[in-house]
A and B are shown apart, each in its own frame.
Chain A
Amino acid sequence: MIDRLVRFQSIKQRLLISFAVLVALFCVAGIAGRSAIVRMSGVIAETLESVQIDAQLSARLSGAVTAELAAAQRYLEMRDSLSQREFHARAGEAHGAQREMNLLRGQSPREVALISSIDARLSDIEVRYARAHRLSDLGRRVASMGEGERARAGVDSLMDDVRQLAAIKSRNVDAASLTLRRDAEQRSSWLLIIMGASAVLGLIVVFSTVTWIARPLRSLTQQARALSAGDFSGRVEGELPGEFRELADAMNSTSASLSRVVSVTTTTADDVAHSARDLANVSEQISASANQMAASMTEISTGAESQVRQLRAIDDALRAIRTNADDVVLSADELSALAGGIEESARAKRLEIARSLGILTTVRETVREAAHEVDALNATAEDINKLVASVGRIAEQTDLLALNAAIEAARAGDAGRGFGVVADEVRKLAEQAQGAADDVVRLTRVVTSRVGSTTRAMEAGVSQVEEIEGVSRNVDAALDSITDAAGRTRSAAGGAAEKAERNAHIVASAARSVESVAKTAEGYAAAAQQVSASTQEQSAACEQMSSASTQLLHGSVQLRELVGALRTEAA
């Protein structure tokens, strides 16, 4: 029954779960019972409290009304202030109780109507008594008595209402207690039902667990008996608890593996016999092919030796190439050094030329300055000429004056003889001055012509210096391009050396590879000789194997006869 609802893995799990469910059920029953009792007591307390409040209010109301009316009546008769105060105080109390009742929850319309009616009647009676009191205070006794009578007339119906309300309240108490009793009975019967259900469920759990264990145990016993009788064909099938499932699986696999062993052994024996025959044939074939292989190996060995010789020749050639490459490297280094020397000396020359260019510039400047000086000298010579010309003119005038004076002196006769001498002397002086002036003019002409030739010589010098400068600059440019070319040559020589070195390395490694190939080829030759030897040994072993397979064939036939006696699943 439970098995259909839940699939259990093991007996332990089933027992644990079943008992957990049982315990949970009892716990639920216990908690439900407890909470039922707690709620019950809460409800009882609540009900009792509300009933109590109801009853208290009801008692307060009827007590206050009674006392109030008594006080009102007393005042009417005795007119004492004590009664008046009591009347007011009790009225307040009665209305207070009535208001509290009004605010209570859960009252029936009848109760509300009664409370309302009590309030109305009481209010009316109070007003009448108050009026009667005032009439009495005013000394109008008759009117006061009449009003008092009218007030009292209403008291009966008021008290009737109060009594009715009290009756309703007491009925409410009865109803409440009845409800509580019913509630308690209901709760207790629910509790009983839960307990009963738990007990029934417990029984079901125990019974089904027992049958669940007993059934698979029986089939396992049967299986064990069959195994001991040598029957491997039986199997334990169907749903089993986990622990039994393991046992059944073990027994099933024992049966299965035993029957598998039997059938495998049978077929193996057959196979072995067959293979033994094949083996004998094969070993003979192998023996033949081994002999062929030995022959081939000898050929391989011879080939490998000739290969070694050729490789040695290649190695020698490679060595020669390497030597040449080293020479190339050396020449390239020399070339590089040479180019470096050229570059160095060209650079030195360029420095010297730069220095001489500086000197040439200084010379040119000096010559130019000298030319300027000569120009200035020319100007001075002209100034001298001008001065000499004016001296010449003065000399002519003086000469003319001296002539005139001589004429005058001559005209004067003796008186003028002295003066004629002076005039003559003046004329001589003028002539000398004229002669000196002519000398100066001559000299300056010579100076001027020399200055002119010096100027021309200098101009020629300047143009020559400029030519020298041009030539020097051309030399400098040529040296520059030489330096450049030398640099390029050097780097080219360096590159050539590097490449030659790399080639030398490659050649060296090629030589190494050739060496190792040669060694390997030698190894092959040796190995081929060994293979050839071992093939001959193999041939001998094959003959031994052939005789062993004949013995194996005998054994397998005996094994098959033995296994045939056992019963298997397949049989």
Chain B
Amino acid sequence: MPETREGRLLDVRIPVSNRPTRLAARAIVAALALSSAACTRANDGVLIAAAGNWDAGYGEMNKRGIDLAVEQINSEGGVFGRPLRVAMRNDRGDGARAVSIAAEFLANPEVVAVVGHVNSGTMVAAARVYDEGLPAVSTTASTPDLTGISRWVFRVISSDSVNGLDLARFAGAQGFQRAAVLYENNAYGRGLAKSFERNFQGTVVASDPVPSDKAGDFEPFVSWLATRAPDVVFVAGTEASGLSILREARRQNLSSAFLGSDGWTGVVSDTALSEGVFVGAPFSPQDPREEVQRFTAAFRQRYGMDPDGNAALAYDATRLVARAVADGGASREGVRRWLASRTRDNAFSGVTGSIAFQSTGDVIGKGYVMTRVHRGGLVVAGARGS
């Protein structure tokens, strides 16, 4: 998920980084942890926390996924027969806010694990706090900077460096020889473009930074692409710039195919423009697997709409954390150990694929579902990558 779609990392000064405060925080946490068993027993239910940018569209979808998972878990009898409760906090995509929310979670001995955060930037900032000893499973933070940042931090979305590889392989498999790359000039776009260019087997005929908002002037870039006539145009960005680029390409009758990453799942909102576009997504509601169809049906019934990758990843992360609490024990260390011991052999089966972790906290070999837009829907076009 892009780092800078909405909020920008404004303040990553982390209060717990100065030594006396950190020691004091540790002491408090240790003291609270001693009494935590009694506290959790006294209260009703098992408490986990969730944080993300609920204001943005993708954040809203994240929240829906979390809510649906919690409702299902509780209707199935909860965790240890006790209801699962979630403390929801809105970090508004802001790094400083994310850090203070993380510190609040860390200080509350009842909280055994965190679902989130949603954005790459907020997750990088908050990871410093979770490193003090609270397991956190990010839903959609895909930046390579998160790889190995802390033994307490995990994520269910694959890293951009892996996603770039998947997309490049898919483009090769589709028979595209000449590729042009347009990337939003931010951390997300640059990282993904770099990974794609490094892994694409054919020729990269152009690689240009483009504005990350829909109001930018895309005409010269598209005109130049028209002169180069690539087989495929890979756009590393979001639907914000994506729809403008597609509009300009249609206007100039550019015949190249278009390929986008998970940031592009929103282009389906313009049915006409997006027809035939390839999108690599962590999830597709058209995925015929039974659990996916069950989840999609439940989501539709609950919200009256199809789930997207954001909702599916958040749903998976929540169910994963609940299972970690149930199987690993209602302690932070127990949850962390359970998560870290997920391998290919005992992977957790989610709607976005089976989830197992590397020692860096990155999810193992999950990859994308390659889809193609058809009549405003993402239709599965290729097998899950990696």
B-contacting residues of A (Cβ < 8 Å)? 88, 91-92, 95, 99, 102-103, 105-109, 112-113, 116, 120, 123-124, 126-127, 130-131, 134-135, 137-138, 140, 143, 147
Contact = CB atoms under 8 A, between A and B. Distances in A.
Contact of B220 (A95, A112, A124, A134): A134
B11 A113 contact: yes
B12 A127 contact: no
Interface string B95-127: 110000000000000000000000000001000
Given A88-B207, A123-B186, A131-B220, A102 B227 contact: no
Interface of B: 8-14, 17-18, 95-96, 124, 128, 145, 185-187, 190, 194, 207-212, 216-217, 220-221, 223-224, 227
Nearest to B124: A103
14 contacts: A95-B187, A102-B9, A103-B145, A105-B17, A112-B95, A113-B11, A116-B8, A123-B212, A130-B208, A131-B217, A134-B221, A134-B223, A138-B220, A143-B220
Contact of B10 (A113, A126, A137): A113
Contacts of B190: 92, 95
Contacts of B217: 131
Given A103-B124, A112-B10, A112-B11, A138 B211 contact: no
A127 B10 contact: no
Nearest to A140: B220
Contacts of B12: 102, 107, 112
Contacts of B208: 130, 134
Nearest to B18: A106
B224 A134 contact: yes
Given A95-B190, A112-B13, A116-B10, A127 B209 contact: yes
Lowest 9 A-B CB distances belong to which pairs?
A: A123-B185, A134-B220, A134-B224, A109-B11, A130-B208, A135-B220, A106-B17, A131-B220, A105-B17
A124 B217 CA distance: 12
Contacts of B186: 123
A126 B209 contact: yes
Given A106-B18, A109-B13, A137-B224, 12 more contacts: A95-B190, A106-B17, A112-B10, A112-B11, A112-B95, A116-B8, A116-B10, A123-B209, A127-B210, A131-B221, A134-B221, A147-B220
Nearest to A129: B209
Instruction: Report whether over half of chain B's contact residues are helix, strand or loop; otherwise say mixed.
Output: mixed
Contact of A105 (B9, B14, B95): B14
Contacts of A105: 14, 17, 128
A138 B145 contact: no
B200 to A, nearest CB: 16
A48 to B, nearest CB: 17
A116 B221 contact: no
Contacts of A108: 13
A109 B97 CA distance: 12
A116 B185 CA distance: 13
Given A123-B185, A126-B185, A127-B211, A138 B227 contact: yes
Contacts of B194: 92
Nearest to B95: A112
Given A105-B14, A106-B13, A138-B227, A130 B187 contact: no
Instruction: Report whether over half of chain A's contact residues are helix, strand or loop; otherwise say mixed.
Output: helix
Contacts of B185: 123-124, 126-127
A176 to B, nearest CB: 14
A99 B186 CA distance: 11
A126 B95 CA distance: 25
Nearest to A125: B185
Contacts of A107: 12-13
A106 B194 CA distance: 29
Contacts of A127: 185, 209-211, 216
Contacts of A126: 185, 209
A88 to B, nearest CB: 7
Contacts of B211: 127
Nearest to B223: A138
Contacts of A92: 190, 194
Contacts of A137: 224, 227
Contacts of A95: 187, 190
A99 B143 CA distance: 11
A137 B185 CA distance: 20
A431 B227 CA distance: 185
Which of A88, A105, A143 gathers the greatest number of chain B CB atoms within 10 Å? Answer: A105
Nearest to A109: B11
A124 to B, nearest CB: 8
Contacts of B223: 134, 138
Contacts of B227: 137-138
A257 B10 CA distance: 96
Contacts of B224: 134, 137-138
B233 to A, nearest CB: 14
B223 to A, nearest CB: 6
Contacts of B95: 112
A99 B191 CA distance: 11
A353 B172 CA distance: 134
A267 B13 CA distance: 100
A188 to B, nearest CB: 21
A46 B185 CA distance: 34
A2 B126 CA distance: 56
Nearest to B218: A131
A179 to B, nearest CB: 12
A119 to B, nearest CB: 8
B146 to A, nearest CB: 10
Nearest to A105: B17
Nearest to A107: B13
Contacts of B124: 102-103
Contacts of B10: 109, 112-113, 116
Contact of B9 (A112, A138, A140): A112
A140 B217 CA distance: 15
A126 B208 CA distance: 9
Contacts of B18: 106
Contacts of A116: 8-10
B209 A130 contact: yes
Contacts of A113: 10-11
Contacts of B210: 127, 130
B20 to A, nearest CB: 13
A140 B8 CA distance: 35
A409 B119 CA distance: 179
Contact of A130 (B9, B14, B17, B221): B221
A448 B375 CA distance: 151
A515 to B, nearest CB: 96
A91 B96 CA distance: 27
Nearest to B186: A123
A238 B105 CA distance: 67
A109 B223 CA distance: 41
Contacts of B209: 91, 123, 126-127, 130
A99 B216 contact: no
Which of B9, B216, B220, B227 gathers the greatest number of chain A CB atoms within 10 Å? Answer: B220
A97 to B, nearest CB: 13
A562 to B, nearest CB: 85
Contacts of B216: 127
Contacts of B11: 109, 112-113
Nearest to B143: A99
Contacts of A99: 145, 187
Which of A109, A112, A120, A126 gathers the greatest number of chain B CB atoms within 10 Å? Answer: A112
A238 B221 CA distance: 106
A60 to B, nearest CB: 17
A109 B13 CA distance: 6
Nearest to B11: A109
Contacts of A147: 220
A154 to B, nearest CB: 13
A95 B207 CA distance: 16
A35 B193 CA distance: 51
A126 B193 CA distance: 15
A551 B41 CA distance: 103
